[in-house]
Amino acid sequence: LLFSILNVGVGSTASELKADGKVLELDESNFDSAISSFDYILVDIYAPWCGHCKRLSPQLDEAAPVLAGLEEPIVLAKVNADKFTRLASKYDIDGYPTLKFFMHGVSMEYSGPRKADLLVQYLKKFVAPDVSILSSDSAINDFVEAAGTFFPIYIGFGLNETVVSNLAVKYKKKAWFSVAKDFSDDAMVLYDFDKVPSLVALHPSYKQQSVFYGPFEDTFLGDFIKQNLLPLVVPLNHDTLKLLKDEDRKIVLTIIADENEDQSQNLIKLLRAAASANRDLVFSYVGVKQWEDFADKFEANEKSKLPKMIVWNGDVEYLSVVGVESLDNEDQGSQISRFLEGYREGRTERKTVKGPSFMDFIHSLIGIRSVYIIVFIVAIMMLIQSIGKEDESVRDGSRGAVDGAESFGAESSRYRPEKKED
């Protein structure tokens, strides 16, 4: 009888977990079962009071049936973190909404778009074949269009899929891979290559591409693929900054007044040419007008002499090249060459960024738990300071301070969801 009852319980739970095109409501009783039941599941960990969560919810409702209808379904689900605090604690959730994408039970932070159609396009990457086989010009065009603009695209012309298969698996979360078995001369003109075999790397959002003609050995091919995961020159913002956190190459950062000025655009073209010839470095730029706080970390602001070039290690240190700290408006190409020459010859001065480190800057929004800890430490320090200043009335004063600390703890325990912020 007990065995029968248990079977009924398991059966009822399993029947609730279906990829039927609806956003699943998960809780502590069925969360682990859902993660193990579906190969691909995106979980929205939300709070009912959160405004961003309320705006995201209809987007997930719209995307859910489309993703459930894929050949390999992707299930969408949500968890009320205020109600099921154990789950929120398990995944260290300190801001809402937080999206976790589980692939075969392994979680990763979802950092893609949140509008329904773009979310669908982004997630399709994770259920696509490691290497897509394209047999015509139209198939190539359809593949590029379906891939969208979020990931770089690699197309091997005249290549066997086995040549790129290992690297396609390695970088599956970061890029699209394909090989074109049949194509016309028009495709060669369109993708700007003149012989086969060749591997073309596309960055649709930046309208950039590079071509690799070999040798098609793991080391050389791997270097090309890794280096082209980023565009030749990376415009720095909150999103692209996150892409650089795993980069082991030094970053040549050019700080300009305004990215949209004609002079800045001409300079960016020169940086692309330099980047193409110096693949061991990452080239990037940021405008003071676009991101003043970030530029200020390198002592660059509206009053500085700009453009300013530095070599940054991606964290707390950077190098300025002696004699080429900034660029004049004349012959900037030659000045960039002198800057790179000075860097490689070691004519540099080591400096430290102002404020938090690179990783701290990415995660500049302090979590709720961190806030609690900081407030608690400050309260304790104030308590100690108060005790130290008392003379004859130390005991009475300390008792009052302890009582105050206890009331502080009681108030913290009564912390209400409606007082939280996104």
Mean pLDDT of 23-43: 92
Tell whether 141 and 92 lie within a shared domain: no
Task: Provide the CATH number for the domain around residue 65.
Answer: 3.40.30.10
**371 vs 277, residue with greater confidence:** 277
The pTM of this model reads: 0.72
Catalytic residue (choose from 53, 87, 144, 316):
53
pLDDT tens per residue across span 246-287: 788 999 999 999 999 999 999 999 999 999 999 999 999 999
Tell whether 153 and 283 lie within a shared domain: no
Catalytic residue (choose from 23, 24, 50, 257):
50
- The answer to whether 113 is a known catalytic residue is no
Tell whether 215 and 296 lie within a shared domain: no
Tell whether 222 and 297 lie within a shared domain: no
419 has a pLDDT exceeding 50:
no
Structural domains in the chain (count) = 3
Answer whether residue 325 is part of any domain. Answer: yes
Mean pLDDT of 144-169: 93
- Where is the domain boundary, 108, 125, 142? 125
Question: By the 8 A CB rule, do 251 and 294 touch?
Answer: no
- Where is the domain boundary, 229, 255, 278? 229
- 3-state SS class at 278: coil
Answer whether residue 147 is part of any domain. Answer: yes
Tell whether 270 and 357 lie within a shared domain: yes
Tell whether 236 and 139 lie within a shared domain: no
**Residue 293 belongs to domain spanning:** 231-381
Tell whether 101 and 180 lie within a shared domain: no
- Print the SS3 string covering 127-161: HCCCCEEECCHHHHHHHHHHHCCCCCEEEEECCCH
SS3 content of the chain, % helix, strand, coil (to 5): 45, 20, 35
Tell whether 151 and 267 lie within a shared domain: no
Strand pairing report for 250-256 and 281-287:
parallel
Tell whether 240 and 361 lie within a shared domain: yes
* Residue 245 confidence (pLDDT): 81
Report the candidate in 255, 248, 205, 243 with the shortest Cα–Cα distance to residue 223. 248
**What is the chain's mean pLDDT, rounded?**
83
Tell whether 347 and 252 lie within a shared domain: yes
H or E element at residue 368: helix 368-389
**204 vs 365, residue with greater confidence:** 204
* Residue 378 confidence (pLDDT): 62
405 has a pLDDT exceeding 70:
no
Tell whether 77 and 209 lie within a shared domain: no
Tell whether 206 and 259 lie within a shared domain: no
Answer whether residue 175 is part of any domain. Answer: yes
- The answer to whether 53 is a known catalytic residue is yes
Give the confidence band of 414 by pLDDT, cuts at 50, 70, 90: very low
- Where is the domain boundary, 213, 229, 245? 229
Question: By the 8 A CB rule, do 232 and 208 touch?
Answer: yes
pLDDT tens per residue across span 166-209: 999 999 889 999 999 999 999 999 999 999 999 999 999 888 88
